[in-house]
Amino acid sequence: MGVAIAYSELRQRFMSVLRSRLPISTSTLNEKPSTQRHDNEVNPVIEGSEFAYKATNIVLVNEDGVKTAAKLIRQRLLVESYTPRTWRTHPLHLLPSDPYVALDPTNKSVLNWIFLISCLNFSFWSEKEGQPDRYSVEWRDKWDSSEKKLWTGYWSLVASLNRALVDDDIPITDPKFYSSEVLCPDSLIEHVFRRSPQSAESIPLLGERIAIMREVGSILCKNFDGSFQGFLDEFHRRHNGEGTALQLVQMVVDIFPTYRDEVIVNGEKVCLWKRAQILVAEIWAAFYPANSTYPHPIFPGVRGPKIQQLTMFADYRVPQILHHLCILDYPPSLLETLHTGTPLQSGASEEISLRAASIIAVERVKEEILKLFVEEGKCGEDTVSSVLIDFYLWDLAKKIENGEDRIKGMKTAKTVPIHRTRSIWY
């Protein structure tokens, strides 16, 4: 009973914060824009990050490091054949049918699965980093296997939801289910995220995760026929089937308060939108056609997804690998904070600087890779994006952390701990 009361109090406080961030109105839900939200098609995350980067002036982009790392990243992408379709190779991902079949009911299930994961994709770092009793989830090592594995970090979230769907027969990714406190009480959600026997800690911010599930589930049920497929149908209606990835990100931010990852810097609003952008990027990758010349089923318009308009996803893992690759320079004071494990408050200057600098740095890397293509007389604009670079860097950071890979052929900085910010935004 005490746990339930705590969750209820947390939810009430959290919901008041969410609703203070531009609450949803009937006009917003019924809006069918006649013009683009961003006529110049510039992602506000880029504009805001440029401003915050200069205003904070703490974490700096190393231009020489950018050029050197761009060559390495491009070469590795080629050698490893790392493409949007690599998303389908991750062992815990739920895959849509391939080739795409519009009426396949699996599509709806995959979209609901990606949506809920993106809603809860935040704050997996542990107070017990590197220790065997950190929070972990025991589940299969891949979908079609009977072998068990301990999953930590982000993958503990994915494993928890998959385990609930397959082993426990709990429809946890159905908004009509998880929005209901009757069908899906707090205690059941706590059970879904249960830790492995050797873990000495629970999943962080459980109360906030429950509040978000109730909020987004209710929005989908009240306005979009109870599924993220319904949300996408409305997106296509608003944009006459010509909507882009950036326009979908904007609609997600407009409709769901939990995706409004924004801060005020020197009186200016700065949009960072980590989870909104990664939600759209995951959908883009999951449904990416085997033949890249085919229309993307989620973005079938003549312009396609225009995925190049999205930025990297500013979290705590990618800045770490950017520093290791000498793309980012940290001042001594920040290095001391990281090495001592001192928490950084969400919205603190150092935390904003880390995120903004990471966004700008990956944009610079993308530009350098495009220059390499031009120098070779090739066109790389349709194949190089900050999204793909982020996907690759995140995977690389985890491999280096697990001792599965290391950087050769270029100078690197000693790997420093991630920054510790406990937040729903990343």
Q: Which is the catalytic residue, given 174, 261, 315, 390? A: 315
Q: Are 193 and 259 in contact (CB under 8 A)?
A: no
CA 352/CA 266 separation, integer angstroms:
12
144 catalytic residue (yes or no): no
Task: Compute the Cα dihedral for 341, 343, 348, 351 and give only its sign.
Answer: positive
Q: Are 257 and 18 in contact (CB under 8 A)?
A: yes
CA-nearest of 43, 409, 14, 35 to 249 is: 43
Q: Are 173 and 215 in contact (CB under 8 A)?
A: no
CA 45/CA 48 separation, integer angstroms:
5
Residues contacting residue 179 through CB under 8 Å, at least 6 positions apart: 213, 214, 216, 217, 218, 220, 221
Q: Are 135 and 201 in contact (CB under 8 A)?
A: yes
What residues pair up with 264 in beta bridges, in sequence order?
269
CA 215/CA 257 separation, integer angstroms:
9
Q: Are 373 and 380 in contact (CB under 8 A)?
A: yes
Catalytic sites, residue numbers: 315
